[in-house]
Structure 1
Amino acid sequence: MLTAVYFGLAASSALVMGALAGVRWSPPKRVTGVLLAFASGALISALTFELFEEAFAMAGGWHAGLGLLAGAAAFVIADTLLDKYVSGRADPDAREVAASGARRGVGLALLAAVTLDGVPENVALGVSLVGGASLSLLAAIFFSNLPESLVGAVAMRNSGMSGRTVVSTWLACAVLLAAAVVLGRATAGGLSEDVLALALAFAGGAVLASLADTLMPEAFEHGRPLNAFATAGGFFLSFMLAA
């Protein structure tokens, strides 16, 4: 269990590092786009070889496939409900929106997205620890957390939030996601092989859906033309860590 604590702190530390950097520095969008592309490639490799392959070996293709699709569906449902909640709070009749309020909304939206994406990713990291340390998945989560918290912190700072408030907000998010790793490890330890395979595949599906919905569109929009190369580089690094 102590290993899960260490892995949770290591993966979530990127959120605090990104926030600390974001309250002092505004990075070019291309930099964050390339970082997100690198993280996307790393996550694709990690979920393939650390999550779905393990589930496939334990319970076979149909069982693993069902878990994968269920995980993706769960993410889509949760993400859709979050989008409706956020849009429902906006005033459709408002003719003017203060610039600071808009920027704060961007920062908080990124915080919500990181939390929504991060919970299944970190639970997956905890579940994967049942079979041994998953360095590739750890690296992939770290590199996805860093640019997202960096951009979110910049938006919050530009909205007028104090640096202390920004860092404290992302620190709370980091603690939550670190706890998700411990939770994943604790719940997976007593599962049967079939149920564990379903949990691994479910986590992989949720991570894959978050990639398609959040990371890769951002990388494509802001990271071109280096996003394709960065994705390949992230895949290769994660594959070598898993080998």
Structure 2
Amino acid sequence: MLPAVVMVVVSAALIVGAAWGVFGRLSDRTEGVVVALAGGALMVSAVLELIEPATRQTSVWVGCAAVLVGAVVFTVADHLVKQRWGRDSGGGLLAAITLDGVPENLALGVALIGTGPLGAAALSGSILLSNLPEAAGGARDMVEDGRSRRAVMGLWTATAVLLALAALAGNLLLAGVPDDVLAVVRCFAAGAVVGSLATEVFPKSYREGGYRTGLAVAVGVVVAVLLSSVS
């Protein structure tokens, strides 16, 4: 029950972030710094909560291969969504937003198998922290592009519900698989997270936060290590 609550709360952060972007004020510089902090924390969490435990259940070579495959799959899918569908249409926009959130939610879903919320504290905290500014910035851009506030909030709410359901479904469906198979899935999810950080998170944070990004990423790394140490 508690893992399900964690996944729902983390996904609900998208709705809170969207409301922040639609009805509140968030400077580009602040958004860039927060995104960088969350990205640094998420990078470390992917290693400590997903890859490192997985290598104890499968060979290092298999785990590393799964990480690379996950990164390739996400990068190719992200490229196809942007180049062929675009982000202007409602369907293309929803697909792009959902794709960006899939690696994180898959990672959270598999990380919570066989452990409690505290066992994945660093990962869940990092994803929650990254969802807030991502949704805020995206929602603000949609409003500035002429979409109504109601439509923007509806889109982000639908995305949050879809990602929460996907994470819950993955958590339930993968709960009974052998440990070595689950280890490969964990590494695949971690690779997809790394791919999303490299192509989406860090470029955006540097454009908006400038050289503060370096310090913010380091702070995120420290936060993730501290959260992991108390689990």
User: Could you tell me the TM-score, scaled by structure 2's length?
Assistant: 0.91
Q: In the TM superposition, what are the counterparts of 1:17-32 in structure 2 within 5 Å?
A: 17-32=16-31
Aligned to 2:111: 128
The one of 125, 132, 141 equivalent to 1:146 is 132
* 1:105 match: secondary structure: coil
* Partners of 1:43 and 1:238 within 8 A in 2: yes
The one of 227, 230, 233 equivalent to 2:216 is 230
Aligned to 2:203: 217
Aligned residue pair count: 226
**2-side partners of 1:125 and 1:144: how far apart?**
13
1:110, CA displacement in angstroms? 6.7
**1-side partners of 2:133 and 2:75: how far apart?**
22
* Partners of 2:81 and 2:92 within 8 A in 1: no
The one of 206, 229, 234 equivalent to 2:192 is 206
Distance 1:72 1:40, change over 3 A: same
1:111, CA displacement in angstroms? 5.2
Q: Would you say 1:178 and 2:174 are equivalent positions? A: no
- More displaced, 13-22 or 40-49? 13-22
- More displaced, 230-239 or 209-218? 230-239
Distance 1:233 1:111, change over 3 A: farther
Q: Would you say 1:5 and 2:4 are equivalent positions? A: yes
Distance 1:18 1:107, change over 3 A: farther
Spell out, residue by residue over 1:61-108, the C-alpha distance to the aligned partner (whole angstroms, 9 max, x if none): 111111111111110121121122135xxxxxxxxxxxxxxxx83998
**2-side partners of 1:14 and 1:237: how far apart?**
19
Aligned to 1:115: 98
Aligned to 1:48: 47
* Partners of 2:121 and 2:228 within 8 A in 1: yes
Aligned to 1:86: 85
**Structure 2 residue ranges without an equivalent (≥5):** none
* 1:155 match: secondary structure: helix
**2-side partners of 1:208 and 1:25: how far apart?**
30
**Structure 1 residue ranges without an equivalent (≥5):** 88-103
Distance 1:107 1:144, change over 3 A: farther
* Partners of 1:114 and 1:145 within 8 A in 2: no
Bigger Rg, which one:
1
Aligned to 1:101: none
* Identical amino acids, percent of aligned pairs: 39
* Partners of 2:82 and 2:96 within 8 A in 1: no
**1-side partners of 2:169 and 2:89: how far apart?**
29
Aligned to 1:91: none
